[in-house]
Amino acid sequence: MKYHAMNMGEVEKEFNTSILDGLTDSEAKKRLEQYGYNELEKHKKQSDLLLFLSQFKDFLVIVLLVAVILSLLLGEYADAITILAIVILNAFLGFFQERKAEKALEALQKLSAPHANVLRDGEWIKVDSRELVPGDVIRFSSGDRIGADVRIFESISLEIEESPLTGESIPVEKTTEPLKEPEPGIGDMKNMAFMGTLVTRGSGKGIVVGTGMKTEMGKISGLMQGTQKIETPLQRRLQQLGKILIVVAAALTILVVLIGIIQDRDFYTMLLTGVSLAVAVIPEGLPAIVTVVLSLGVTRMIKKNAIVRKLPAVETLGTATVICSDKTGTMTQNKMTVTHLWIGGKTWTVDGTGYSPEGAFYHEGSPVEVRKEKMLLQMLTYGMICNHAKIKKKDNEYMLVGSPTEGALLVAAMKAGFDRNELLKEYQIVKEYPFDSTRKMMSMIIEDSAGKQFVIAKGAPDVLTQVSSKMIWDGKEEALTDKLKNALHSAIEELASQALRTMAIAFKEIPANKTVTDVHEVENGLTLIGLQGIIDPPRPEVKSAVEKCKDAGIKTVMITGDHLITAKAIASQLGIHQENSKIIDGKTLAKMSVKELEEIVDEVAVFARVSPEHKLKIVQALQGKGHVVAMTGDGVNDAPAIKAADIGISMGITGSDVAKESSSLILLDDNFATIESAIEEGRNIYENIRKFIRYLLASNVGEMLVMIFAIILALPLPLVPIHILWVNLITDGLPAMALGVDQPEGDVMKSKPRDPKEGIFARGLGWKIISRGLAIGIVTLAAFMVTLHNHPNELEYAQTVAFTTLVMAQLIHVFDCRCEKNIFSRNPFKNQFLVWAVLSSIALMLIVIYIPPLQPIFKTVPIQFADWALIMLMAAIPTFLLGGIDAFIKKNR
């Protein structure tokens, strides 16, 4: 269909829709059923069978299958069957874990899926882009990704970057008129917007003409890359560790077989021993538990309003040393109200709260009749016309649709009794130059009922001063001399020092015989009317979040487009700015090189009047100083800085699609305090991962050593393969998971950030793994030798005692693993999951020891009561003796 050649009436007819009211809700539902969801076909998921089979690719499984064959050759059929059962169980576990992780990822994708602003039943509402249907009327603005293929009918300086379709990265200016060319290429269809392309400037509206696979993007979707599985640095390091352990396992197997041959032992037994050792060395459960703990952590973070888009962020969060955060909306409430108005040396105040249009005007404390203040009325009406915000009343509450800054100006004018729709009958908008945070102003060309054209501009006062040549003073237009400029600056500073955001309003008449279109020409030679001072109170929870970050060794830096003095006032209220910290403004920043900025960046607490482009420089300078930087942003221009930061953070409510796509963390509530709680969670997850890595690896070291010692001492084997497998997969599994969701030891926000270069075994973890592992190995061997001495010729009994000692030593050790300091410093029963996990592990062990039919399978013999004393004594030694020694050394250091 050639929608580009049709006029809007024809498109409306074609889709049976209206650009004034959109579709009705019921019609949209009907079409959704007819056309299906507006999404591209996904790559087919791996089938269940294939995914299950892929679990057998593991090296461990191969080792175990060798064990099965060996057991069969030795006639140990029960062994063979049990190991095979464990292999299959393991494959099922792996399968379900992978599917679970996939599901978690899909849920995340859904949460961060793009939305569209759509007109239904005459009301603008926000829906998931996948719910768009042909005929929907949608609107989009700078930073949005277009949700479907659209025929544009309104373009306000609309520019769209279409590189996903055309490869051309220069944005295309969009128009609304039907095109004459019969077969234009995609890049030439200037009145169309396509799914997946990005609005880089301005705003627009259009009718959806294609959704899902019927879009231009759908046609080429086969070429698009599928979702990638991203691993965290820790997962990668663990994989490397896994590879090293496999080599160690293989080497040990060969060594043991060689020793066996030298000692003239039975070949098959030694081969089986070698395989047992290999099983002992590899921490089978580790990668799966890491994945599950990470995804559980991510789920917990969602509850705290933080969506992790890229898994590595969970780890990086704990290393952050600086948070650079936007002020407006993130640190403040973004609920703006005009409280002061200033024109030519005279100040008025307005009362009232929020967006309720009720409030009165005062001058020096006494009420004034606004209708008599001519210039004030002019400023209020201009602020209302050059505005896109709307105030709606819902359930007796006034709600804002649009920008809060504009909402404040709108409400101020409503308090004086104006109505925008009424004003627009008198003044017609001819052209608009929309707001962007680099220009920090916007303007409109307006025509009044007499046909006279003029420009209305509003924006940051310091910017408007530069493009104004006159100012209203004493009710008259005066040249903007240095004297008047000084008066204006004092007024700006006076308002800003009360933490008010300031907006200036200016205008100029356009001579009847002249047409101006160039933005520089329009926004020049203006007459400044006055200022409006807007309050935007800080979010109450931010101050304590900033303080918590400070305790945690994390510096908070405020970055804002707002005035330096306003920023300083709010930063001081929030404890970000202190006596000795520096404030830098955008102009100074623009002149500095990254190297120069590096010199002073550690002392800077506030960057004011900056453009989003400057943010990248700030990230680079901080990183140059060795910082790990978290950076927030919401607009298109913020994307490069968000990408460059170690943790890019975007806003869930006000954030543009591009900002969200570049970020690794999305704040669902746009709140600074959420960053702090995400960091806290990130730190905790990392500490918990350390806990169970210690737990699992100490177990492996213990198992390996007990076997090696026995071989060296020419003793019979203390453990058979099935025992080792049992410990690794059954005994250790549940408690390790429980460690993964452990409560933090003390306040994780009271210590300095982790060094990002620090390895997982740092801070004494390696020592603890080896020392506890060695001790577990020794006590297991000791229990085995003592029992063998007391019960000569009862090898299986001694093996059962060794197995039980190993299990109990691990289950006591697990409580020590919760403690970075020492086991005596924490209530061991606080983690209920852990208590239940340990009790279940003990119960399972008792079952395989005492239930007769299981005894031949697990090579166990019921343990006599007296021997439990030996087992418990031995099992307690690694934790309590070494824990005591560690505590003693620490105390005396």
**Residue 326 among the catalytic residues:** yes
Cα separation, 516 vs 522, whole angstroms: 6
Name all contacts of 449-453 with Cβ < 8 Å and 24+ positions apart.
452/509, 452/512, 453/509, 453/510, 453/512
Burial class (CB in 10 A: 0-12, 13-18, 19+), 828: middle
Nearer to ligand ATP, 114 or 538 (CB): 538
Q: Which stretch binds ligand ATP (CB under 6 A): 151-159, 326-334, 487-495, 595-603?
A: 326-334
**# binding residues, ligand ATP (CB under 6 A):** 21
CA distances to 170, 184, 193, 197, 219 from 162, rounded to whole Å, are 8, 15, 9, 5, 15
Residue in 12, 58, 76, 562 binding ligand ATP, rule: CB under 6 A: 562
Give me the residues paired with residue 633 across strands: 650
Residues 16-75 that bind ligand ATP (CB under 6 A): none
Convert 210-235 to b/e letters by CB count within 10 Å (16 or more is b).
bbbebbbbbeebeeeeeeeeebbebb
Phi, psi at 559, each rounded to 5°: -120, 125
Residue in 556, 560, 656, 662 binding ligand ATP, rule: CB under 6 A: 560
Nearer to ligand ATP, 142 or 620 (CB): 142
Two tokens, residue 207: 């009718």
Residue 499 touching ligand ATP (CB under 6 A): no
Nearer to ligand ATP, 39 or 638 (CB): 638
Nearer to ligand ATP, 536 or 742 (CB): 536
Coil, helix or strand for 534? Answer: strand
Least distance (Å) between residue 585 CB and ligand ATP: 12
Binding mask 440-469 toward ligand ATP (x if CB under 6 A, else -) reads: xxx---------------xxx---------
Which residues are CB-contacts of 893 (< 8 A; sequence separation ≥ 6)?
Answer: none
Least distance (Å) between residue 501 CB and ligand ATP: 5
Nearer to ligand ATP, 272 or 444 (CB): 444
Q: Cα 743 vs. chain centroid, distance in angstroms?
A: 22
Nearer to ligand ATP, 301 or 574 (CB): 574
Q: Which stretch binds ligand ATP (CB under 6 A): 58-66, 132-140, 166-174, 559-567?
A: 559-567
Q: How many residues does the chain have?
A: 893
Phi, psi at 456, each rounded to 5°: -115, 130
Nearer to ligand ATP, 522 or 863 (CB): 522
Residue 561 touching ligand ATP (CB under 6 A): yes
Q: Which stretch binds ligand ATP (CB under 6 A): 255-263, 525-533, 555-563, 864-872?
A: 555-563
Given the structure tokens 């997850």, which residue do they identify?
A: 685
Which residues are CB-contacts of 505 (< 8 A; sequence separation ≥ 6)?
Answer: 379, 382, 383, 386, 456, 457, 458, 528, 529, 530, 531, 532
CA-based nearest residue to 617, from 596, 602, 636: 596
Residue 152: CB atoms within 10 Å: 24
Nearer to ligand ATP, 441 or 480 (CB): 441
Q: Which stretch binds ligand ATP (CB under 6 A): 230-238, 272-280, 439-447, 574-582?
A: 439-447
Least distance (Å) between residue 130 CB and ligand ATP: 29
Give me the residues paired with residue 206 across strands: 138, 152
User: How do beta strands 198-210 and 337-343 pair?
Assistant: unpaired
Cα separation, 823 vs 768, whole angstroms: 13
Which residues are CB-contacts of 594 (< 8 A; sequence separation ≥ 6)?
Answer: 617, 620, 621, 624
Residue in 503, 571, 689, 734 binding ligand ATP, rule: CB under 6 A: 503
Least distance (Å) between residue 182 CB and ligand ATP: 41
Residue 879 touching ligand ATP (CB under 6 A): no
Least distance (Å) between residue 520 CB and ligand ATP: 17
Least distance (Å) between residue 686 CB and ligand ATP: 30
Taken in order 418, 420, 423, 429, is the CA torsion positive or negative? positive
Indicate the angle between helix axes 795-817 and 832-850, nearest 10 degrees. 180
Nearer to ligand ATP, 562 or 886 (CB): 562
Residue 633 touching ligand ATP (CB under 6 A): no
Two tokens, residue 822: 């020492």
Residue in 326, 646, 676, 732 binding ligand ATP, rule: CB under 6 A: 326
Least distance (Å) between residue 24 CB and ligand ATP: 32
Residue in 190, 415, 470, 501 binding ligand ATP, rule: CB under 6 A: 501
Least distance (Å) between residue 536 CB and ligand ATP: 9
Report the residue closest to ligand ATP, judged by CB.
561
Least distance (Å) between residue 157 CB and ligand ATP: 14
Residue in 151, 201, 327, 614 binding ligand ATP, rule: CB under 6 A: 327
Least distance (Å) between residue 504 CB and ligand ATP: 8
Which residues are CB-contacts of 415 (< 8 A; sequence separation ≥ 6)?
Answer: 350, 352, 357, 358, 359, 360, 361
Residue 670 touching ligand ATP (CB under 6 A): no
Q: Which of 58, 144, 326, 657 is the catalytic position?
A: 326
Least distance (Å) between residue 440 CB and ligand ATP: 4
Residues 418-437 that bind ligand ATP (CB under 6 A): 435, 437
Nearer to ligand ATP, 340 or 440 (CB): 440
Instruction: Identify the DSSP state of 145.
Output: B
Two tokens, residue 466: 């530069």
Residue 406 touching ligand ATP (CB under 6 A): yes
Which residues belong to the active site?
326
Contacts with ligand ATP by CB under 6 A lie at 326-329, 403, 405-406, 435, 437, 440-442, 458-460, 501, 503, 559-562
